[in-house]
Amino acid sequence: MMQAQDVQTASSPAAPLLAVRDVSVVFGGIIALNGVSFDMQHGQILGLIGPNGAGKTTLFNCLSRLYQPSAGDILMEGTSILSRPPHRIAEIGIGRTFQNVALFANLSVLDNVRIGTHARTHSNIVSDSLRLPRVRRSESEIDRRVHEVLGYLDLEDVAHVMVSGLPFGTQKRVELARALATDPKILLLDEPAGGLNHEEVHVLGDLIRRIRDERKMTVLLVEHHMGLVMSIADHVVALNFGRKLSEGTPAQVQSDPDVIKAYLGSKHQ
């Protein structure tokens, strides 16, 4: 006889970490997203591709809660995240970087990364003002975590350098460090390869894979250019004109005639 556990394993695939369900976003008259659905599984690197204007950033901003979908739902471990404001997504394990680096230019690398961790610190005003031991412990815990992440991303040498003085590629790494310092379950990356040269893109690809393997994270990688996505993603979702155009392994999506047509037809490609 089958055990209850076996029945469950046999009848339902692993529950997704994140589920995007029929999400639509309308800006004025423009339908930026039109009924998009897909799942992200634990430990996956999911590549979200599509020509300019396809709706990638709009979807990304729904996930990071900057935009509210006009319809549909987004579930993290089975629970809707749509009532959550952007400053409260780190608590449930969603970390993000921005397409155009969004750091405090006049603060040091260390301070920028430290700011990221505050989203996940549950100290309250009373215990803060009394400097109770719990808070002190949490401060030293933050220090430990920040330095661990700076070391991991090879940023210790520039920890006290002001961000504005750093090359763009290094600034992007600082953003990544800030997201990692919150110890997210899902890391959302919007066009991390943008503005990087060929060698830097290669290094970034290795790094994203290492982060997934060593830090056990699930990664959503939004990219306009296919190269990086095709080399590191396990699963790819292609958007075009706000709709899901194709979904599957990188090889499947890359050879899908609809995807090829969409990219050839895009003047920005």
Ligand X SMILES: Nc1ncnc2c1ncn2[C@@H]1O[C@H](COP(=O)(O)OP(=O)(O)O)[C@@H](O)[C@H]1O
Query: Segment near ligand X (CB under 6 A), from 35-43, 51-59, 155-163, 255-263?
Result: 51-59
Tokens standing for residue 206: 């290795």
Q: Which does 53 bind (CB under 5 to 8 A by kind): ligand X, Mg ion, none?
A: ligand X
Q: Which does 168 bind (CB under 5 to 8 A by kind): ligand X, Mg ion, none?
A: none
> Of these, 53, 86, 169, 195, which contacts ligand X (CB under 6 A)?
53
Paired with 114 in beta bridges are none
> Of these, 8, 9, 52, 197, which contacts ligand X (CB under 6 A)?
52
**Gap between the Cα atoms of 47 and 230, Å rounded:** 8
Residue 32 binding ligand X, by CB under 6 A: yes
* Residue 193 contacts residue 225 (beta carbons within 8 Å): yes
> Of these, 20, 44, 45, 55, which contacts ligand X (CB under 6 A)?
55
Q: Which does 251 bind (CB under 5 to 8 A by kind): ligand X, Mg ion, none?
A: none
Residue 248 binding ligand X, by CB under 6 A: no
Residue 69 binding ligand X, by CB under 6 A: no
Closest approach of Mg ion to the CB of residue 100, in Å = 10
Residues 212-218: contacts with CB within 8 Å, 24+ apart? 212/43, 212/45, 215/180, 216/43, 217/43, 217/184, 217/185, 217/186, 217/187, 218/17, 218/18, 218/40, 218/41, 218/42, 218/43, 218/44, 218/45, 218/46, 218/185, 218/186, 218/187
Query: How distant, in Å, are the alpha carbons of 29, 71, 78, 189, 261 from that of 97?
Result: 28, 25, 24, 5, 30
Residue 240 binding Mg ion, by CB under 5 A: no
Q: Which does 93 bind (CB under 5 to 8 A by kind): ligand X, Mg ion, none?
A: none
Closest approach of ligand X to the CB of residue 215, in Å = 26
**Gap between the Cα atoms of 265 and 31, Å rounded:** 20
Query: Segment near ligand X (CB under 6 A), from 52-60, 84-92, 110-118, 159-167?
Result: 52-60
Between 66 and 159, whose beta carbon lies closer to ligand X? Answer: 66
The terminus-to-terminus CA distance of the chain in angstroms comes to 57
**Gap between the Cα atoms of 39 and 87, Å rounded:** 23
Residues 42-71 interacting with Mg ion (rule: CB under 5 A): 56-57
- Chain residues that interact with Mg ion, rule: CB under 5 A: 56-57
**Residues contributing to the site for ligand X (CB under 6 A):** 27, 30, 32, 50, 52-58
